[in-house]
Structure 1
Amino acid sequence: MQHNEISLLHKTGYSLLGCFVLFWFIYAAGEQFGYQGIWLTGLAFALSFICLSTSLFYFVSFQQKQLDALHDGIKSFKDGDFSIRIHPDGDKHLAPILDLYNDLARNLTEQRQTLSQKEHLLDSIVQASPMAIVLFNPFKQVVYHNQQANELLQVAGSLKGKELYGLLENVSSPIRSFLLEQGSGIVSFEHNDLKQSYYIANQTVTYNHQLHQLVLCKDLSLEIGKEELQLWKNAIRLISHELNNSLAPISSLTSSAEAILEKNTHLDLLPDILQTINQRASNLNAFIAKYAEFARLPKPNISKQNLAATLQSVQKLYAFELLADLPCKHAYFDVLQLEQVLINLLKNAHESGSKVSDIGIKVVKDYNRVRFAVVDRGQGITQGKISQVTLPFFSTKQGGSGLGLSICSEVINAHRGQLKIKNRTNGGIMVEFDIPLRF
């Protein structure tokens, strides 16, 4: 921006020049009227000084007003007010500073408007979320929350400033324990004879240079209820199918045995009939035992174990390639349960149609966790079914029980880990799971 105003320095120079001219004018006029000597000089000097002081006071006071306005404007920034503007009509050397101030005020105003719009949009999204969201400061006081948090805590009105402990009076005991212990996971309980399930996540976030606790809570009762109902339907359908496959032949063979005994003929067939009945009964018993094993999966007996020895034990049953050197000698896990997980995964890999040379296990250390990856080059799994293969009673195999991967997932969860399955780029799948390096 161009400014053509005269500077304060120039104004001061012009004032001095004017006073000098005025001094000689008064001096000459005094001599004309007969005044001489020091009195004339003093009078001229006094009048000139008064004129000079008046001019300088006017110029300086005008510029001081602009400096005061600039001071007030900058001070208003501290209070969050960016609306003050200053018209740069003074000294041209001060004008660029005033222009810079005005530009800064405009930019801050625009940024505040943009930020306000984003905050409003984010708040609208959070308030519309079906998940309860609460942010606590280091003193366990509510800083932010949405409407779902009011419903979860059963408290009306604003929660800001209220302490966590005082908000938990009406909350179910399992949820209260999770919130106080800052735990994360799914909590299930019965309330008014109804099963309730909630997912609770606790995270630490930095806000205003302080660590805050962010709590997210989602009511999963309806979703889990639907999932459980579908699982029960699948279980009943599968069990009915297996029972029918075993009981129908047993019933038929029993009728045949009764007919043979009544007619007292073909008695030589009875041993085969009884053996077949016994075999079908044994198969049925094994089927039921497998489901019972899933239902009463014991807690892991975790202790310090040798990784190499565990893998060598499994390798005697199912061949595989160790794809990298072991990152550590020992880890903490239930050796029997982890061996069963690896056996199930390797069995699936061998049955997938993969070459034995393409079946491998890789173990890596990731900070304080040990990660296992079992890979093959088999048929893989249809993309839409990957998310379901760890569900109980879901199987991609003809006649499969749908319990193998479910048991694997349960075991890893009990070890504070997670099991993931994904298709590989050039065919086959990778099953990855992790366990803590130490407990």
Structure 2
Amino acid sequence: MRIFSLEGKLAGALVAWSILTALTVVVLVQWLGSVQAAAGLAVLGLLLPGLLLARHLASPVAQLIRALSGSVSAFGDGDFSFSIRNTRRDEVGDLVDAHNALGRVLREQRQNLFQRELLLDTVVQNTPNALVLIEPGGHVVYANLAARALLNGGQSMNGIHIERVISEAPPELAEALSSAEDALFSVQIKQEDETFHLSQRNFKLQGRTHRMIILRRMTRELSRQEVATWKKVIRVVSHELNNSLAPIRSLSHSGRELARLGELKRLTTVFDTIEERARHLGGFVQGYAHFAKLPVPQQAWVELQPFLDALGQHSQFRLIAAGAPARAWFDRAQIEQLLINLLKNAREAGGDVEGIEMAVESRGHDLRIEVRDRGPGMSESVLANALLPFYSTKRSGTGLGLALAREIAEAHSGRLQLANRNDGGLAVTLALPQPDPPATD
């Protein structure tokens, strides 16, 4: 127990008061000659001084408690500027020191938080992406400088209903903002076409669901990507043309020499080779044309079992269709072409042809068709690029097979996914969203 602790002070005062009381009683007994009278007179005489002493001892503690109560109330209101002067060396003084230290920490944290908020606001305000935050009632609660430059004529939008902002926007932009989905669209601004990507996200802020709209200018990026794509197309086409035209030129010269020498029998081989190279070149050009002119899917209800039986006439595979529905909604010709390409890739993967499988099942609102092989699978880099146009790991590949399959899947609002199998091989999954089947009589 510390000497100057609150407990020590109270103990000292109690001991001193007890000694004083005992001495007073002894003196009064000697004077009055009666213990009872002396004790009663001592109690009456020492009661008021005892109360005054207790008040004196408790008064500083009560004052500090009132000061602490007021300071804590100020902390609750966000005012951390209060501190209390400490003149005590007991537990109450320790409490005051802890209170003052807490105030310093809170002031420092608030200052750091304010600086971070200022930095974040500066970054958000000066980002080239337009950002708009909308509260549940539809009113704009935040819009950065890029958003003001694009919407509402450059004026502040805080407090304005988003419908009013949409009504004054260009038609293409208004249509994208009215939708609840992400979108890529073009709009004319200052006599120039600008392409934007719009993304929308919902999140909770202070327990309420807010909507954030982000508009990103994509014109320059798309232009760079377009140029890069054209360069890649030109390289691929030039490479393929040269691979076919060079032997055709050489064979034509050889054929002319054979004709001049009268060796007509050998001309047949020359003409056959020229025809084969021309046929390959024609197929190559036709493949690119078909990829560029994929028609809009003509979806209809297709009986799955006859469809799968017909597909088995083109390529051998083991069918796993325990959870397959009776009918599915898709463009029969396009999905057949897609699956034929996947089965062709599975045969060319290098694994056992007997191990090629096609699993068909209904999962949620999707029809899932998975083509599996027992080849070596794909590396991570190949998996990341396999669905891109013109990407191929085959020496004679055009890089259009899987790209065309993905194009067909996305035209059906579906998706195509590639993944290596745990026990070896590759699995290509086609997921096609399905409407509710029509009622049958």
TM over 0.5: yes
Percent pairwise identity: 30
Matched residue, 1:355: 352
Closer/same/farther in 2, CA of residues 174 and 127 from structure 1, 3 Å limit: same
- TM-score (normalizing by structure 2): 0.70
CA distance in 2: counterparts of 1:331 and 1:106, whole angstroms? 68
Shift of 1:69: 1.9
Contact 2:366–2:433, Cα closer than 8 Å, also in 1: yes
Shift of 1:84: 3.9
CA distance in 2: counterparts of 1:436 and 1:333, whole angstroms? 9
Shift of 1:102: 6.2
CA distance in 2: counterparts of 1:374 and 1:304, whole angstroms? 22
Contact 2:6–2:91, Cα closer than 8 Å, also in 1: no
Matched residue, 1:35: none
CA distance in 2: counterparts of 1:170 and 1:147, whole angstroms? 18
Aligned residues: 422
Correspondence 1:2-13 to 2 at 5 A: 4-6=5-7
CA distance in 1: counterparts of 2:239 and 2:198, whole angstroms? 38
CA distance in 2: counterparts of 1:268 and 1:378, whole angstroms? 44
* Residue 197, structure 1, aligned to residue 200, structure 2: no
Correspondence 1:315-394 to 2 at 5 A: 315-322=312-319, 325-326=322-323, 331-363=328-360, 367-378=364-375, 380=377, 383-394=380-391
Partner residue of 2:431 out of 412, 421, 434: 434
* Residue 180, structure 1, aligned to residue 178, structure 2: yes
Shift of 1:352: 2.5
CA distance in 1: counterparts of 2:237 and 2:217, whole angstroms? 31
CA distance in 2: counterparts of 1:99 and 1:333, whole angstroms? 75
Shift of 1:211: 1.1
Partner residue of 1:228 out of 226, 229, 251: 226
Contact 1:134–1:144, Cα closer than 8 Å, also in 2: yes
Closer/same/farther in 2, CA of residues 48 and 23 from structure 1, 3 Å limit: farther
Partner residue of 1:410 out of 407, 419, 427: 407
Matched residue, 1:218: 216
- TM-score (normalizing by structure 1): 0.70
Q: Secondary structure at the match of 1:361?
A: strand
Structure 2, unpaired ranges of 5+: 33-39, 437-441
CA distance in 2: counterparts of 1:120 and 1:370, whole angstroms? 50
CA distance in 1: counterparts of 2:341 and 2:190, whole angstroms? 41
Matched residue, 1:65: 63
CA distance in 2: counterparts of 1:388 and 1:194, whole angstroms? 33
Letter of the 1:417 counterpart: G
Deviates more, 1:167-176 or 1:240-249: 240-249
Q: Secondary structure at the match of 1:183?
A: coil
CA distance in 2: counterparts of 1:100 and 1:328, whole angstroms? 70
CA distance in 2: counterparts of 1:198 and 1:62, whole angstroms? 69
CA distance in 1: counterparts of 2:416 and 2:227, whole angstroms? 24
Matched residue, 1:141: 139
Correspondence 1:235-314 to 2 at 5 A: 235-236=233-234, 238=236, 245=244, 289-305=286-302, 307=304, 309-314=306-311
Correspondence 1:117-132 to 2 at 5 A: 131-132=129-130
Deviates more, 1:235-244 or 1:56-65: 235-244
Query: For each residue in 1:150-184, what CA deviation from the matched residue of structure 2 results, as whole angstroms up to 9, or x when unmatched?
Result: 45548658655444344457754323322221221
Structure 1, unpaired ranges of 5+: 32-40
Matched residue, 2:416: 419
Shift of 1:201: 1.8
* Residue 164, structure 1, aligned to residue 144, structure 2: no
Shift of 1:202: 1.4
Letter of the 1:206 counterpart: K
Closer/same/farther in 2, CA of residues 398 and 168 from structure 1, 3 Å limit: same
Q: CA RMSD in A?
A: 5.3
Closer/same/farther in 2, CA of residues 91 and 179 from structure 1, 3 Å limit: same
Deviates more, 1:330-339 or 1:185-194: 185-194
Matched residue, 2:439: none
